[in-house]
Amino acid sequence: MAKLIQTEEETMLQDAARALLDNSAPVSRLRALRDAGQTRDDALWQEMVAAGWAGILVPEAAGGVDMGHAAAHVLAREMGKTLTVSPFLSTAVIAVSVLRQLQDSRSQAALKAIAEGAHTYALALDEGAKFNPDRIELKAEKRGNGYVLNGEKRFVVDGGTADRVLVLAQSDDGLCLFDLAADREGLTRSSTDMIDSRDAADLTFENVELSGDELLGAAGDGASLLRFGLEAGQAALAAETTGLAQAAFGMTTDYLKERKQFGVPIASFQALQHRAAHLWCELELTSSAILHVGRMLDLDPGNATLAVSLAKARATDTAQLAVREGVQMHGGIGMTDAYDMGFYMKRARVAAEWLGDYGYHAAQVARMRGF
Partner 1 sequence: MGGKMTTDTGIEFADTPDFRKKIRAWLEDNCPADMRDGASGEGANCWGGRNWVFSSEGQRTWLERCAAVGLTVPTWPKAYGGAGLSRDQEKILKEEMAAIGARSPLNSFGIWMLGPALLKFGTEAQKQEFLPPIARGEIRWCQGYSEPGAGSDLAGVQTRAEDKGDHWLVNGQKIWTSYADKADWIFALLRTDRDAPKHKGISFVLMDMRSEGISTRPIRLISGASPFCETFFDDVKAPKEQVVGEVNRGWDVAKYLLTHEREMISAGGQVMGSGRALGAVLANSETGLSDPVLRADAMRTEVDALAMELTLERYKDQAEGGQGVGDASAMLKYAGTELNKRRLELVMAAAGSEALNWEDGRAPTWLRTKANSIEGGTSEVMLSIISRRILGLGA
Which residues of this protein are in contact with partner 1, per CB under 8 A?
A: 3-5, 253, 256-257, 264-265, 267-268, 270, 272-274, 276-278, 280-281, 284-289, 291-292, 306, 310, 313-314, 317, 361-363, 365-366, 369-371
- Beta-strand relationship, 146-157 and 139-143: antiparallel
Cβ 325 to partner 1 shortest distance, Å = 13
Cβ 308 to partner 1 shortest distance, Å = 12
CB neighbourhood size of 264 (10 A) = 9
Question: What residue type is assigned to position 152 of the chain?
Answer: E
Residue placing its CB nearer to partner 1 in the complex, 39 or 316: 316
Cβ 280 to partner 1 shortest distance, Å = 6
Residue placing its CB nearer to partner 1 in the complex, 161 or 286: 286
Residue placing its CB nearer to partner 1 in the complex, 216 or 313: 313
Residue placing its CB nearer to partner 1 in the complex, 102 or 267: 267
Question: Cα(160)–Cα(121) distance, rounded to whole angstroms?
Answer: 10
Residue placing its CB nearer to partner 1 in the complex, 173 or 254: 254
Instruction: Indicate the length of the chain as a whole number.
Output: 371
CA 13 to chain centre: 19
- Beta-strand relationship, 121-124 and 164-171: parallel
Q: Is the CB of residue 313 less than 8 Å from the CB of residue 365? A: yes
Helix (H) or strand (E) holding 279: helix 270-299
Helix (H) or strand (E) holding 178: strand 174-181
Cβ 284 to partner 1 shortest distance, Å = 6
Residue placing its CB nearer to partner 1 in the complex, 170 or 328: 328
Residue placing its CB nearer to partner 1 in the complex, 120 or 364: 364
Cβ 196 to partner 1 shortest distance, Å = 24
Burial 113-146 (b: 16+ CB within 10 A, else e): bbbebebbbbbbbbbeeebebeebebebeeeeeb
Looking at residue 87, the DSSP 8-state letter turns out to be S
Q: Is the CB of residue 151 less than 8 Å from the CB of residue 127? A: yes
Cβ 370 to partner 1 shortest distance, Å = 3
Cβ 69 to partner 1 shortest distance, Å = 16
